[in-house]
Amino acid sequence: MAKQSRGQKKTVGRVMHEFKHGELETRGRKVKNPKQAVAIALNEAGASKYESKSKNEKNLRRTKAKERRGETARDQKEGRSRTAARRKSAGSARGKTRAELYDEAKRRNVHGRSTMSKAELERALRA
Nearest-CA neighbor of 10 among 92, 83, 68, 49? 68
Please check whether residue 8 is in contact with residue 45, taking contact to mean a CB–CB distance below 8 angstroms. yes
H or E element that contains 107: helix 98-108
pLDDT digits (tens, 9 = 90+) for 25-61: 888 899 999 999 999 999 999 999 899 999 999 999 9
- Report the percent of the chain where pLDDT is more than 70: 86
Per-residue pLDDT, 87: 55
The residues that bridge with 29 in the sheet, in sequence order, are 26
| Boundaries of every domain in the chain | 6-78, 94-126
Q: 64-71: long-range contacts (C-beta < 8 A, 24 or more apart)? A: 64/7, 64/11, 67/11, 67/14
